[in-house]
Structure 1
């Protein structure tokens, strides 16, 4: 019985080690901008261990970099389902590191994309085209929100962008 436990432990250690090495390979492919290849590598990791959050975030990040926003959204939904299936409020598992990883990956994506609003703007176009916007009078319904005298020059401050 003791030998079986040792063998199972060794097998699990080998699987986890191979997953870790494969995740590193996926990260290397991402740094080389080979996002399709990285996605394939991360998917192989998830086939072995669906709770490997490094692989999930690698897939999502690669899909965003590839402008595959619908796929990234689907992957995120799949990830949330897996988290929901594996989350047990009464267990002794410490979920704090997982949530810390979520925050780290979200911060990484925001930092690389410049801002979350810039990424969001790619998905949803602006409601007002400012290139042809009439700044002299802007009306909403019947109420005038902004009136600017004709001789006034307006400037857009891009210093904080």
Structure 2
């Protein structure tokens, strides 16, 4: 299998690596960079547990090859709140509002909702539910996830 050299910026840090042509971005992040917040879920793009930001837009990293990220900027859930800093308002509200139970899907929900709030800082409940339609949770029933995002949105607006 052929190898390709890639250079990506992940959570503000530049990484150069040799990767096989068929290496998934999710596997590169988890196995090569040891950023295990990006979860392997369905590996078909349905569950959203592997969601990351690529140049500021949400992508499902299980559907993307690592070579496709060459020269680009990636933010994982570990990059929402850099080490040593306070939690991101979304992380705080997920904890405070009970927006997580087992936590497996939480990184994907955090990354998706962070991008959603960047585009729409004052979403309605319906807009939040629609924005999360590409993420699945088997534990919470979504009510507390939606509440968590609305609380975080309000906090991020300074209300």
Bin of the TM-score, shorter chain as denominator length: under 0.3
- TM-score, normalization: structure 2? 0.28
Relative contact order higher in (CA < 8 Å, ≥ 6 apart): 2
Structure with the higher fraction of residues in helix conformation: 1
The structure with the largest alpha-carbon Rg is 1
Structure having the larger proportion of residues in strand: 2
Q: Give the structure-1-normalised TM-score.
A: 0.27
